[in-house]
Amino acid sequence: MRTKKALNGYFSILEGKKRVKYLLCKNLEEKINSAEEILSGCHFCERRCRVNRMDGEKGYCGVLESRIASEFIHLGEEPELIPSYTIFFSGCTFTCVYCQNWDISQYPERGVHIQPRVLADMISTARARNVNWVGGEPTPNIYYILDVLKHSKRNMPQIWNSNMYLTEEAMKLLDGVMDIYLTDFKYGNDRCAERLSDAKNYTKVIRRNHMMAEKQGEVIIRHLILPEHLECCTKPILQWISENLKNVRVNIMGQYHPEYRAMDYDELKRRLTYDEFQEAVRFGKELGLDILE
């Protein structure tokens, strides 16, 4: 059986018993310099577009300067994380055909650019227990996020809320900066990842990054069950987690509904059934996973 170590860890962070890492991060300037180098031949994610975003060249995600679609105190995240000051970036490194957030993720030009110093001040006054970097996807915005943290004066846990398709180099930049990895584990095989999110080498990349995340911080894994993907995705994901990760919790999510281009894909045209959801939870529990309920 899984222990409650991860849960206790959260409380220790959130109660302030464990110091927030970014204030201990003595090499933040060094990380910002490395992030600037990555930005000038972009390889924050495994698409490795190698475009110079500093010079206005766009890669797959289309993100140039960081743009924020919305920021607010989120009360709908996992109970121990709320209230969470959530910052939604425009643009994404994936193009999931069923994206539940497509009006943000597929339009990188939407939203506004907020100067890092200004956002740092907004964070300082937010009535929240943590900062939650999400999107779209935060990955193209790592340079910007580090710059914001450089100006930040408030000791606050940082949440990396991501699809986890980062490069190893980008993952290392987060080490010592992010406290909690709130991850989105979508597929149990590369075929589904390529077909539905246009993402290559998905399983290798995502598995590697989850192993790194477990060493770098605390991890909550979210998995949105897709209709008809129980056998090819949900079960292999849960199986892999049970065999490879020790101190993680898993949020099995049943709220899928057809969005964006989902109606072009037969199996994605409907919502999940109650039985499919129950089967996923039963399978996860049988594996001894720490399932969020």
Interacting residue ranges for ligand SF4, rule: CB under 6 A? 42-45, 47-49, 51, 59-61, 63, 93, 139-140
- DSSP string covering 123-183, please? HHH--SSEEEEESS-SGGGHHHHHHHHHH--S---EEEEE---B-HHHHHHHTTT-SEEEE
Shortest distance, CB of residue 67 to ligand SF4, whole angstroms? 13
**4 or 200: CB nearest ligand SF4:** 200
Rounded Cα distance between 177 and 179, Å, is: 7
Rounded Cα distance between 86 and 70, Å, is: 8
Contact assessment for residue 80 and residue 10, using Cβ atoms and an 8 Å cutoff: yes
In whole angstroms, how far apart are CA 64 and each of 89, 115, 163? Answer: 12, 14, 19
Residue 107 CB partners (closer than 8 Å, separation 6+): 90, 91
Residue 61 CB partners (closer than 8 Å, separation 6+): 45, 47, 91, 92, 93, 108, 137, 140
The two tokens of residue 227 are 């209709």
**10 or 94: CB nearest ligand SF4:** 94
**97 or 123: CB nearest ligand SF4:** 97
Cα end-to-end distance, the chain, whole Å? 16
**94 or 256: CB nearest ligand SF4:** 94
Shortest distance, CB of residue 114 to ligand SF4, whole angstroms? 19
**42 or 99: CB nearest ligand SF4:** 42
**58 or 207: CB nearest ligand SF4:** 58
Shortest distance, CB of residue 202 to ligand SF4, whole angstroms? 14
The two tokens of residue 255 are 């709220």
Shortest distance, CB of residue 189 to ligand SF4, whole angstroms? 22
Give the DSSP H or E segment for 237: helix 235-244
Shortest distance, CB of residue 63 to ligand SF4, whole angstroms? 6
Asked if residue 83 has a cis previous peptide bond (ω within 30° of 0), the answer is yes
**49 or 212: CB nearest ligand SF4:** 49
Rounded Cα distance between 40 and 174, Å, is: 18
Shortest distance, CB of residue 61 to ligand SF4, whole angstroms? 3
**57 or 214: CB nearest ligand SF4:** 57
Nearest-CB residue for ligand SF4: 59
Determine if residue 269 is left, alpha or beta; phi over 0 gives left, psi from -120 to 50 gives alpha, anything else beta.
alpha
Shortest distance, CB of residue 239 to ligand SF4, whole angstroms? 29
Shortest distance, CB of residue 231 to ligand SF4, whole angstroms? 30
